[in-house]
Amino acid sequence: MSRVGKLLVNVPAGVDVSLQENHISVKGAGGSLQMTINGLVKVANDAGKLSFLAVNESREADAMTGTMRQLVNNMVIGVTKGFEKKLSLIGVGYKAQATGAKLNLAVGYSHPVNFDMPAGIAVATPTPTEIVIKGADRQRVGQIAAEIRSVRPPEPYKGKGIRYADEKIAIKETKKK
């Protein structure tokens, strides 16, 4: 059996987990999330501890047990603490400005690039060259960060562009005669 799938998910106080036959929903201070449960996995709630069991002995059921456990664990963490991604803008004149649920980027194009944030995702710009994306759904936070990064990915010669705050760019050497 999956080592991750054997671990229990502790549900902290203030978080409500409800199980239907093929849905799980988690509600907490950070919002509410729901997900469809895979048919190969059986989820049980025992006094605030969620356990995940494979329905049969197949390899796929074993793999899905660990996957479902981690996805539900991310949902519980998301509604309690939340997730965040930080982006940095590197380049002369590159700046970002967040106003409400909109993000305006000036990253070297002849026009500004505007992003509308979906519900449940908050964006902030502590400085004009930093972007912080926060939300309860880990997958959506990462997807929005990847979409913003794809507007101007870091180039390998000077390192200009939008990068994750912890990302290291290998700078190439220019051609020489």
> Which structural domains are found in the chain, ordered by start?
3-80 (3.90.930.12), 83-164 (3.90.930.12)
Q: Is the pTM of this model over 0.85?
A: yes
Q: Do 61 and 18 contact (CB within 8 A), yes or no?
A: no
Residue 154 — pLDDT band, cuts 50, 70, 90?
A: very high
pLDDT digits (tens, 9 = 90+) for 72-90: 999 999 999 999 999 999 9
> Is residue 30 a contact partner of residue 80, using CB atoms and an 8 Å limit?
yes
Q: How far apart are CA 11 and CA 23, in angstroms?
A: 17
Under DSSP, is residue 161 helix (H, G, I), strand (E, B) or coil? strand
Alpha-carbon distance values, 96 to 9, 116, 124, 151, 167 (Å): 38, 13, 9, 12, 19
- Give 4's pLDDT tier (boundaries 50, 70, 90): confident
Interval 23-80: pLDDT, tens: 999 999 989 999 999 999 999 998 889 999 999 989 999 999 999 999 999 999 999 9
Q: Helix, strand, coil shares of the chain as percentages rounded to 5?
A: 20, 35, 40
Give 113's strand partners: 105
Q: Whole-angstrom Cα distance, residue 87 to residue 159? A: 14
C-alpha angle 102-107-112 in degrees, rounded to nearest 5: 50
pLDDT at residue 175 in the model: 86
Place of tokens 């709630």: 45
